[in-house]
């Protein structure tokens, strides 16, 4: 029985359960499988990572107050967050992983960090 590489069709030599002739064929095959189906997930995760980096960079202490245009200037998108927390007073904190923000009056935002 001649076994061939799933990606390029080259004859396989070695282990009986081998599917690919090289790492590059394995990578090419897996990248092709995941390209379309995971594109939306990858884009959302990239957006969340960018928002997290922005909050982390601007929140130099435990709590920092910034204006909305400052967040927007850095490319922050308010539609992307991982969780919310509503206090007993009715204030809603939006979190991107461990970094959060609370909308305040006059376009100010309080940046906070959740202890994990």
Full residue range of the structural domain in which residue 73 is found:
40-113
Residues of the chain short of pLDDT 50, as ranges, are none
In a domain, 89, yes or no: yes
At 42 the pLDDT is 85
Tokens 């202490």 -> residue: 61
In a domain, 1, yes or no: no
In a domain, 28, yes or no: no
How many residues are listed for the chain in this entry?
Answer: 116
In order of 24, 25, 47, 48, 66, the CA distances from 31 in angstroms are 10, 10, 21, 22, 40
Say if CB 97 and CB 82 are below 8 A apart: yes
Helical segments of 1-116, H only? 23-37, 39-58, 68-73
Domain count, the chain: 1
Q: Which residues pair with 113 in a beta bridge?
A: 99
In a domain, 47, yes or no: yes
In a domain, 57, yes or no: yes
In a domain, 73, yes or no: yes
At 1 the pLDDT is 66
What is this structure's pTM?
0.72
At 39 the pLDDT is 80
In a domain, 20, yes or no: no
In a domain, 109, yes or no: yes
Distance CA 21, CA 86 (A): 54
CA dihedral 25, 27, 29, 34 (to 10 degrees): -170
């Amino acid at each position: 029985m001649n076994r061939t590489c799933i990606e390029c069709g080259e004859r396989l030599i070695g282990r009986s359960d081998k599917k690919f002739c090289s790492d590059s064929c394995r990578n090419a095959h897996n990248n092709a499988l995941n390209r379309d189906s995971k594109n939306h997930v990858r884009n959302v995760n990239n957006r969340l990572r960018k928002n997290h980096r922005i909050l982390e960079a601007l929140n130099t202490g435990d709590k920092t107050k910034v204006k909305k245009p400052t967040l927007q200037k850095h490319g922050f998108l308010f539609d992307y967050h991982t969780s919310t927390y509503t206090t007993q007073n009715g204030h809603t904190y939006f979190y991107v992983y461990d970094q959060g923000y609370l909308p305040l009056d006059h376009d100010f935002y309080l940046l906070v960090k959740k202890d994990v």
